[in-house]
Amino acid sequence: MNKKPRTIFPTKKEELPNGITLLLRENHSVPTISITVYFKGGKGIENEKTNGISCLTQRLMTRGAGEYSTLSLYEQLEKYGIRINPFFGKDTAGITMMTLSRHFDRAMELFSQVILNPKFPEEELEKEKKNLIEGIHKEKDDILPYCLQKCEGLVFEGHPYSMPRKGTEESVKKFTREDVLKYYQDVYFPANMVVSIVGDIQMDYALSVLSRYFNGFNSSSSLLDPGDIENPIKNVREGIEQTEKRQVALCIGFQAPSVVSEDYYTFSVLNHVLSGMGSRLFVELRDKQALAYSVNSIFSSYKNAGIFRAYILTGYDQKERARMSLLEEIDRLRTRLVSYDELVRAKRYHLGLFDIRLQSNSSVASQLAYHEIMNNGYDFIDKYPERIKLITRQKVKRAAEKYLKPQSYAIAILTPGSYPGNLR
C-alpha cells in the first residue's frame, strides 16, 4: 500500500450541545483513524476504601455493552479490525479506539455502546477482582518498578496519588457491582468528556457521526478534585523493605511541578540532563564508578503535582556508595550550572522523544485530548517545542533549587539484608 504524502493539518475544536468536546486533526497519509476519549477521574478521586476502583471499572468497560455480550462484542470488533482499549491514570480515565476509515461509522456505534451502556456483569466482575488481586501479589517480584511505586507513595503521602495503582487486596475484595456503577456514573458524563479524533476523516463527517451516537448522552455528576498536596516533604521520608532479591533497588523522590505549571517545561529538560545513555547518571555512576546495573531518572507530572525520581539498581556491598553518589549528582544540579553541551544534549534528546511519540495517530489523539482536559489546551503539543527551546542553564538551576531541596526528599530502598546507618 502506497502512503500518501503527509500533510500537517491544524486541530479543529467543536462542542456538542450536551457538553462533549470534540477535537479533530486530519491525517490522510493512511486510511486509518485513532480516537481517544478522556474523562477526568482516575486514581486522584479514590480513597482508601475505593482504592483500585478506577482500575477495576476500566477493565470491565469492554465486558459486554448494550445488546452485546462480552463474546459478541469481541466478535464484532474482530470482524471489522477495530481495537478498543480502556485506560486510567492519576487524573483521568478513558478509552482508545483504532479503526480503518471506511469502518468509522460502525466503529463509533460499537464505541458508543461501550461508553454509554457497559453491562458490568457480575461474573466478569468476580473474574477481574481475582485477576487484580493476583497482579497485586506479583508486583513485588519486579524489584525496580515496585521500588519506584514505593517511592511515589512516600512522596505523595496522605494524598490519593500515593495509593497503589491497582488497589490493595483488602479494598479490591470488597468491591461490588454497585461500587463500579457509582464510579462509572461519577466519571462518565458528557460535560466531563473530551473526544480526540486523528486520521483519515474530516470534521463535518466526524461531527455528524458523533452527534448521532452521543446526542442522547445527557447524564451529569459533581466530580471530586484530588486537591493540592497538603503534606509537602520537609525532611527525609524513609521506606526500607527487605526482599529475597540479590540486588538493592534504591529510589530517591522529590515533589515536582504539575503538568499545568510553568516549571513543567524546565523540569522536563532538567530530567534529561540526568536521564538517558549519555546522561550524568549513566556516565558517572554506571560507566565511571561501575555502581549500577541500571540507573536513570523519571519526571512524572499530574494535574495537582509532579514527582521526580532518580533510581539505581546496585549490588548489596555498593548500596551506600550508590546512594551517596546519586544524591551528589542531584545536588550538582542545585549548586552548579549545567554545561552548554549538557543543555543542548538534554533538549535534543527530549524533543527527539517528543517527536517520536507524535509519529502515530493514536499518540497525537491522546496528547490532544489529555492536555485539553488538563486545561493546557489542545494546542499544547504545537507550542511545546518552542517552549523547550527557551529553557536556559539558569532556569534549570533555579528549578533544581526550588524543587530538589536537600533533606526534603523521600527514599525507598529494597534490600536483601538490613540497611545500616542513618539516612538523614
**Edge-to-edge strands of the sheet including 32-40?**
12-15, 21-26, 193-199, 32-40, 92-100, 83-88
* pLDDT tens profile 253-269: 999 999 999 999 999 99
Cα-flanking dihedrals φ and ψ of residue 306, to 5°? Answer: -130, 175
Cα-flanking dihedrals φ and ψ of residue 161, to 5°? Answer: -60, -20
Contact 402, 235 (CB under 8 A): no
Q: C-alpha cell of 223?
A: 466530580
Question: H/E element holding 30?
Answer: none
> According to the model, what pLDDT value does residue 1 have?
46
Question: Which amino acid is residue 188, in one-letter code?
Answer: Y
Equal fold, 12-214 vs 237-415 = yes
Residue ranges per domain, the chain?
12-214, 237-415
Tell me the helix, strand and coil percentages in the chain, rounded to 5.
45, 20, 35
Which residue blocks in 139-275 are alpha helix, DSSP H? 143-155, 169-174, 177-187, 203-214, 263-274
Q: How confident is the model at residue 225 (pLDDT cuts 50, 70, 90)?
A: confident
Cβ neighbour number for residue 231 with a 10 Å cutoff: 13
Structure letter (DSSP) for residue 244: S
Task: Look at residues 381, 346, 379, 347 and name the one whose alpha carbon lies nearest to residue 363.
Answer: 381
* Terminal-residue alpha carbon distance, the chain: 62
Separation between Cα atoms, residue 126 and residue 181, nearest integer Å: 15
Separation between Cα atoms, residue 287 and residue 276, nearest integer Å: 13
Could you tell me which CATH class the domain 237-415 is placed in? alpha beta
Contact 293, 314 (CB under 8 A): yes
Task: Look at residues 402, 279, 405, 280 and name the one whose alpha carbon lies nearest to residue 349.
Answer: 279
Q: C-alpha cell of 105?
A: 461509522
Residue 8 predicted with pLDDT over 80 = no
User: Torsion angle of alpha carbons 346, 376, 356, 144, nearest 10°?
Assistant: 70
Which runs of E-coded beta strand occur in 217-324? 237-242, 247-256, 294-301, 306-315
| Residues paired with 296 in a beta bridge | 311
Residue 40 predicted with pLDDT over 90 = yes
Q: How confident is the model at residue 6 (pLDDT cuts 50, 70, 90)?
A: low
Name the pairing type of β-strands 237-242 and 32-40. unpaired
* pLDDT tens profile 298-343: 999 999 999 999 999 999 999 999 999 999 999 999 999 999 999 9
Architecture of domain 12-214: 2-Layer Sandwich (3.30)
Residue 46 predicted with pLDDT over 90 = yes
SS3 category, 100: strand
